[in-house]
């Protein structure tokens, strides 16, 4: 077990659809469950899906809010991509390569769950780009937000 685990709570509309997307689709193990919440194990990290009575409004694009994983091995990223395709999970953005030929180069895809939560899964070609390379200012795809 990791020394530290990441925890994220997020809104959903109901538990059955949550289990279908996250457990059957993504392969998350399920933990404790009630009519109002479900604990999920996403690659060793704790997600808690909380049913909310308020309408969950879709975002207009991937910013500012999304969550997911950064894979340290390309084959793990490829395996999750294949699983998502096999289970016909809805892609918000299909697999693609960002910043090709730059030190920030990475592969990414976005999924959207039944409740409009956006999930990103990525693999960096150069591991030092995950937290470092501060001399580069590109973060994401938003035009006008990076320095030249």
Domain CATH number, residue 107? 3.10.180.10
Instruction: Say what the pTM is.
Output: 0.89
- Per-residue pLDDT for 16 more than 70? yes
CA pair distance 54, 104, nearest whole angstrom:
38
Total domains in the chain come to 1
Q: Is residue 147 part of a domain?
A: no
pLDDT at position 131: 82
Is 13 part of any domain?
yes
Which residue segment(s) compose the domain that 105 sits in? 7-53+64-130
Does pLDDT of 96 surpass 60?
yes
Whether residue 72 is contained in a domain is answered as yes
Q: Is 119 exposed, middle or buried (0-12, 13-18, 19+ CB in 10 A)?
A: buried
pLDDT score at 119: 98
Residue 138 lies in a domain: no
Which residues share a beta bridge with 122? 70, 108
In a domain, 36, yes or no: yes
How far apart CA 113 and CA 117 sit, in angstroms, is 5
- Residue at 1 is within a domain: no
CA distances from residue 138 to 16, 40, 43, 102, 148 in whole angstroms, order as listed: 39, 32, 27, 10, 9
Distance, in Å, from the CA atom of 37 to the CA atom of 26, rounded to the nearest integer, reads 18
- The candidate with the shortest Cα–Cα distance to 114, out of 90, 80, 85, 94, is 90
């Amino acid at each position: 077990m990791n020394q530290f685990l990441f925890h994220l709570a997020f809104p959903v509309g109901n538990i059955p659809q949550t289990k279908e997307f996250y457990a059957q689709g993504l392969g998350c193990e399920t933990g404790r469950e009630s009519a109002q919440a479900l604990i999920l194990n996403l690659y060793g990290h704790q997600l808690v899906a909380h049913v909310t009575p308020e309408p969950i409004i879709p975002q207009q694009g991937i910013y500012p809010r999304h969550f997911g994983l950064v894979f340290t091995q390309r084959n793990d990223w490829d395996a999750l991509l294949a699983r998502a395709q096999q289970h016909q999970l809805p892609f918000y953005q299909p697999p693609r390569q960002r910043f090709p030929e730059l030190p920030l180069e990475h592969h990414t895809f976005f999924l959207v769950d039944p409740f409009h939560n956006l999930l990103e899964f990525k693999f960096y070609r150069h591991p030092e780009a995950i937290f470092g390379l501060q001399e580069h200012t590109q973060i994401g795809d938003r035009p006008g937000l990076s320095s030249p």
